[in-house]
Amino acid sequence: MVESYLEHIGTLLLEEDLRTEGEDSVARLLTRARTITVLRRVSKDRKVRVLEFLSETRLIRFSPRGEPSVISLRFADLREVPW
């Protein structure tokens, strides 16, 4: 499941350039929906892998300046993720 997710999001990154798409673009909304779904379904170790991927591709940010992430994790199941 995670491998398929990473492959699909990687393709969207290359073909749609999610970082420059508008907040309400279909590509960004689809990516958020897939992200929320995969985080709900996988173990904590796999959640960490997904979050690492999103961070490394700059789709999510942990910024003290409050810069918004490309993909919102609002309502994402992040229980058991070691911070």
30-82 pLDDT per residue, tens: 999 999 999 999 998 999 999 999 999 999 987 667 677 889 898 898 888 87
Q: Is the pLDDT of residue 83 over 70?
A: no
pTM of the entire predicted model: 0.84
Average pLDDT estimate for 12-32 = 87
Mean pLDDT, residues 3-7 taken together: 94
Query: What integer pLDDT is reported at residue 47 of this predicted model?
Result: 93
CB contact at 8 A, 11 and 22:
no
Q: How far apart are CA 2 and CA 8, in angstroms?
A: 10
